[in-house]
Amino acid sequence: MERWATFDCYGTLVDWRAGIGGQLARLFGDERAPGLLEAYYRLEPAAQADGALPYREVLAVTLRGVAAEAGLAVPAGEEDALGRSLPGWPVFPDVATSLQEARSRGWRLAILSNCDRDLIEASIDAIGVPFDHVVAASEIGSYKPAPRHWEAFAEQTGVGPGGHVHVAQSAFHDIATAASLGLPSVWINRLGEPPGPPCSRELPDLAGLADVLDELAPA
């Protein structure tokens, strides 16, 4: 039986907060950046709600909203600053080794991402570990936490029960939906958040992930 580990990318594999926070600091100053980042996190789901906007536009719309809420304006020519910067967002240092270890044990790897295909491919290049499949929001017209990513993944790969574990940092976008689908999940609690939706396992980062995957779906 094939075993698949699916991953959220931004926040789990790529440091989303560092990427967006760095741009907010550049545009609006270091002192404002932390508060603006929290506002971004709060406002982005509204821009994703109907699944109609490409992720580049979600980034731009949310950036404008964050600035407006703070009484600021996005500088001229910087409207696409977040989308333009995304390919350079840093990969967490634990990622490559952990993914390589999972692959060495026979796990197939996939990404389920709220992103455009070309942007996620740039991040995969930065990660430096091959993935066997990608489900991108731009290709299915839906954003997590809606379940369409998981449905499309099952349709496209034919993966059956018992051979699929989902790995993610976001309780809102990923872990809650995995729980509602009855799917085993590993919550990568990088931010030390309090317990939220039920998950199968919790880790502070990806170190030791391969062992946990093998526990949840033995070979």
DSSP state of 54: -
Token pair of 102, please?
């999972």
The residue count of the chain comes to: 219
Note whether 22 and 85 are within 8 A (CB). Answer: yes
Alpha-carbon span 24 to 26, nearest angstrom: 5
β-pairing, 133-136 vs 164-168, is unpaired
116 is catalytic: no
Residues whose CB is less than 8 angstroms from the CB of residue 20 and which lie 6 or more positions away in sequence, other chains included: 37, 40, 82, 89
The catalytic residues are 8
